[in-house]
């Protein structure tokens, strides 16, 4: 994909972007997010080849009022404005009737910035609190109900995809949740087709770091709505995983980026999944290397450290 041009096109700047900070640091951050979203869209084929303005698809961009979804919308709007994203964007907020939810914030934000949008109010909060005991986590059932409503809205609006604001850390957290608690290697894919087979689910922020998103949202002064209106529910497994990942990143800066790249660099022959690799029929071939054979290319860090200690002791 081509680099983003430094100069803006000769069209009016979208209202949402007019008050963006002009510091060099913020411009670099903004450009990085634009590049990462473009890369994710291209790498995972989120946009069909040959899309043109006359036939461009519609995307339902889901906004909760948090930093991630605001940033997602802003980046997509800028890419669209620059002529790099030939889609129609429809912002959507689902008001789930949570106590204390400021229902005026997002409609006012959309209207002030001239953003095409749809607001849906449906009381899923009462359903969740009725079905789930007070000491249990609401998130799973709440998410399923929300997703079903968003699918319906997307169909009503003629959209081919719903677009979500999950970022790099969300994907890593889900991977470790599945690893620690689900006994499987799986995460959030940047692109999938729903069970009914009629809609795409897209996550264009898949390459974006949460820290960058937080800085961008703060710089843009988005009217953030807290995500704990249903109760903070301390001790969630996901929060424990989040703290673990944050501690790793603090101890070794850049580690999360390495782990995220690993999700796109799997080697079935070096795992234990027999459905992905035919271990049973794997045999040495006379005079040539068997496909998928050999040790991992990178040596074990622990063994290198032990070797260094041994030689240092001589």
Q: What are the Cα distances from residue 214, in Å, to 15, 69, 71, 220? A: 21, 11, 9, 10
Which 8-state DSSP code applies to residue 181?
I
Q: What is the dihedral of CA 14, 20, 23, 25, to 10 degrees?
A: -90
pLDDT given at position 1: 42
The token pair at 179 is 């690893």
Specify which residues 91 forms β-bridges with.
61, 117
What is the separation of C-alpha 99 from the centre of its chain, rounded to a whole number of angstroms?
27
pLDDT given at position 270: 94
Q: Which residue has the tokens 């000769």?
A: 10
The token pair at 60 is 């339902």
> Could you tell me how many residues make up the chain?
314
Q: What are the Cα distances from residue 16, in Å, to 7, 19, 69, 165, 273? A: 18, 7, 14, 17, 47
Beta-carbon contacts of 186 under 8 Å, excluding residues fewer than 6 positions away, are 174, 175, 178
Q: What are the Cα distances from residue 134, in Å, to 78, 129, 153, 159, 218? A: 42, 7, 30, 36, 33
Contact yes or no for 162/154 (Cβ under 8 A):
yes
pLDDT given at position 100: 83
Max Cα distance, the chain (Å)? 74
pLDDT given at position 127: 78
pLDDT given at position 232: 46
Cα separation, 106 vs 96, whole angstroms:
13
Q: What are the Cα distances from residue 6, in Å, to 28, 36, 133? A: 11, 16, 53
Listed in order, strand segments (DSSP E) in 14-111 are 58-62, 88-95
Beta-carbon contacts of 62 under 8 Å, excluding residues fewer than 6 positions away, are 69, 92, 93, 94, 150, 162, 163, 164, 165
Q: Which residue has the tokens 């949008």?
A: 117
The token pair at 96 is 């789930």
Contact yes or no for 61/91 (Cβ under 8 A):
yes
pLDDT given at position 314: 47
Half-sphere exposure of 128 (CA within 13 A, CB side): 22
Cα separation, 268 vs 259, whole angstroms:
17
The token pair at 8 is 């803006």
Per-residue pLDDT of the chain (314 residues; tens, 9 = 90+): 444 444 455 568 999 999 999 999 999 999 999 999 999 999 999 998 765 556 789 999 999 999 999 999 999 999 999 999 999 999 999 988 888 889 999 999 999 999 999 999 988 777 777 776 666 666 777 778 888 999 999 999 999 999 999 999 999 999 999 999 899 999 999 999 999 999 999 999 999 999 999 999 999 999 999 876 555 454 478 888 999 999 999 999 999 999 999 999 999 999 999 999 999 999 988 755 555 555 555 555 555 555 555 555 44
Can you spell out the DSSP letters for 215-242?
HHHHHHT--PPPS-TT---TT-HHHHHH
Q: Which residue has the tokens 């660099």?
A: 265
Cα separation, 9 vs 28, whole angstroms:
18
For the domain made up of 22-225+233-262, the CATH class stated in words is: alpha beta
């Amino acid at each position: 994909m081509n680099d983003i041009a430094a100069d803006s096109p000769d069209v009016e700047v979208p209202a949402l972007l007019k008050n963006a900070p002009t510091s060099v640091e913020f411009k670099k951050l903004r450009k990085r997010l634009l590049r990462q979203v473009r890369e994710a869209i291209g790498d995972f084929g989120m946009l069909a080849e040959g899309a043109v303005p006359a036939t461009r698809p519609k995307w339902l961009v889901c906004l909760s009022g948090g930093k991630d979804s605001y940033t997602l919308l802003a980046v997509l709007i800028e890419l669209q404005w620059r002529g790099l994203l030939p889609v129609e964007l429809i912002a959507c907020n689902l008001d789930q009737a949570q106590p204390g939810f400021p229902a005026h914030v997002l409609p006012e934000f959309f209207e002030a910035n001239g953003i095409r949008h749809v607001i849906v109010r449906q009381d899923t909060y009462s359903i969740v609190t009725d079905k789930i005991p007070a000491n249990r986590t609401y998130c799973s059932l709440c998410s399923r109900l929300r997703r079903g409503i968003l699918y319906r809205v997307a169909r009503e609006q003629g959209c081919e995809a719903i677009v979500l604001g999950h970022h790099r850390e969300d994907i890593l957290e889900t991977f470790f949740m599945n690893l620690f608690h689900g006994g499987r290697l799986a995460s959030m894919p940047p692109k999938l087709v729903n069970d009914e087979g009629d809609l795409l689910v897209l996550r264009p922020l898949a390459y974006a770091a949460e820290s960058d998103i937080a800085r961008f949202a703060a710089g843009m002064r988005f009217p953030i709505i807290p995500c704990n209106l249903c109760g903070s529910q301390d001790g969630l497994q996901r929060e424990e995983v989040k703290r673990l990942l944050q501690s790793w990143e603090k101890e070794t800066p850049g580690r999360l980026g390495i782990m995220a790249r690993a999700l796109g660099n799997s080697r079935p022959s070096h795992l234990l999944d027999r459905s992905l690799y035919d271990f049973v029929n794997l045999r040495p071939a006379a005079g040539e290397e068997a496909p998928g054979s050999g040790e991992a290319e990178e040596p074990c860090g622990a063994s290198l450290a032990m070797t260094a200690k041994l030689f240092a002791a001589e």
